[in-house]
Every structure is written in structure tokens, then in C-alpha cells.
Amino acid sequence: MEYQRTVADVVIFEGEGVFSGKKIRVEIHPLRENEGIVFERADLSDKPRIPLVIENIVGLEGAVLLTNGKESISLVEHLLSAFHGLGIDNALVKVFGEEIPLLDGSAFPIVRALQEVGYLLLPAPRKKFVLKRPFQLVNGVGKISFKPSHKLSINARIYFEHPSIGEQTFKFTLTPQDFIREVSFARTFGFKDLLEERKKKGLLKGGSLSNAIVIDKEKVLNAEGLRAQDEFVRHKVLDIVGDLFTLGHPLLAEVSAELTGHKLHIEALKALSQAGLLEEVSTRALTFLWIPKKKRRSF
């Protein structure tokens, strides 16, 4: 029986905003059952809150934006991937800035911070979305498809004409253990020339080799190299796990993504929602379970 989860205590991390160049603090606070994931712009005087629902999501070329139409928080995808991967259903995320810090470019620093605090089980069954029928969306060379399933599985394929990348594929079924072991460590990546161009235009005011894999025309520039030979496609799966959670609940589906990005992922999820192809279901709650502090489990 699956119960909803929240964090057992406040989780705090800080880092440089890749867009703003500012130091940004993020606090993750516990919430009760059925409150969902809620973000707060804690740096603003009125501290506006934005719930995580697909209507408040914008998919950009290289990031996911959460917005209420007035205030926004960008780069939420890695944090959402950690929540989704570890099964966190309810949390208040206070962000003292307009973006989530990129940290090392993966979800692992957030996963580690969540593990250190652990989680609490709440007296309510988990809510999930299931598909009513298969769905596919194609946009240019990118294609993403969804098939009904009793679990979430992802089959991703990427291709870059570069000696360090080329064609890579990765198949993954989501469980907390496999998310931590197989996906959470994979870093985002970018091409040196493009990053330098964006910095000159003022689009990027932060960012370095410490929070992304950076590639020139021939090789990976990071002195430590790759964490896995197929780290690039593993990060794609990390992004998909995060993007899927913009629905507000986990999605049970067989997902196939070829040459896709955030923009196509979010476009597809909005199409699923607007077409009424998603059905919310819940597992049956049996007993109230609250874990005392000394018995709190890590993920």
C-alpha cells in the first residue's frame, strides 16, 4: 500500500543561479497530505505561492518555468526529478530568487539533502495519473509517445554529431533505488561556443565547469571527465522524470522519447491533460502511519 510522503524536516540548499548569477537559497518544508507541491517566491514581499499543476508550467528550450502569470521560478526540473524519483508528494519549496540553483548540474545534491532528512508517511493514499489510451506527439525531429502501463518506464534516445556523444539510448523503470543509482548523478551539458555566446548576450550570468558538462568541438572539458559513458542520455531521462512530475502527481505510463526537449515534453503533457486522456487514481489507505523522528527512514 502506497502512502503519500513529505519531508521529515526542513531541507536547505544554496547555490549560484545560472541565469541571474546570484546566490540563491532554497528551503523545502513539510506539508500535510493532499497539499501537493507548492512553490513560494520567498524573496518577494508578498511571498506569492504557485502550486505545481501543469497549467502553471512553461516548457522552454533548455529549462522548465513555473509561473502564475506574474511571478515565476525557472529551472525547476531537477528538483522535480528528485521529488518524483524519491516519491515526495507534498512539500512547500521556498525559493529566495527567481530560479533553482543548478548546483553540480544533476539532481544528486538535492537527493543527498533529502536523504539526510528523510521522509514522513502521511495518512492518505498516493495519487497518480493513468492513461486512458496511447498518445503521441511529434514536433520536428522530436517525438514522444505514451502507452498505458501499471508503472513508469522511460525509453530515451538522443543524437549529437559529436565524438563524445553520438547516438545514445537508455531504458529505465522508475523506483527510488534505481533513480538514485542510475539517473540522479547525471549532469546537464552544454557546448562551449553556445554558452560563451549566451554569456556575452547576458542570457547567462552564472555557470561554470562545476555545474555542467561543457564540450568543445572535440572533447569534454571537465577535468574529472564523465560519471558514466552515457551520462548524456541518462541526464535526458533525469529531465523527463522531472518534466513528467509537472502534472502534480506521478504518471503511470510507458514513455518513449526520441530527440526531445523540455518544450516538447511539456507540450505533450498539456495536450494529454486538455484532451482528457489522464485519469487520477489513488491507492487505498489502510492505516495512519507516522514515523517518529528516531525511526525516520532515509530513501
Which positions are annotated as active-site residues? Answer: 262
Q: Is 193 annotated as a binding residue?
A: no
295: its cell numbers: 525511526
Is 147 exposed, middle or buried, given 0-12, 13-18 or 19+ CB atoms closer than 10 A?
Answer: middle
Q: Is 243 annotated as a binding residue?
A: no
Q: Is 265 annotated as a binding residue?
A: no
List of long-range contacts for 68-71, beta carbons under 8 Å, 24+ apart: 71/41, 71/44
* Helix 231-244 × helix 262-274 angle, to 10°: 30
Residue with cell 539510448: 169
d(CA 191, CA 163): 13
Q: Are 235 and 186 in contact (CB under 8 A)?
A: yes
SS (H, E, C) 206-237: CCCCCCCEEECCCCECCCCCCCCCCHHHHHHH
Number of residues in the chain: 299
Phi, psi of 265 (to 5 degrees): -55, -50
Q: Which residue positions form the known binding site for Zn(2+)? A: 78, 235, 239
Q: Which residue positions form the known binding site? A: 78, 235, 239
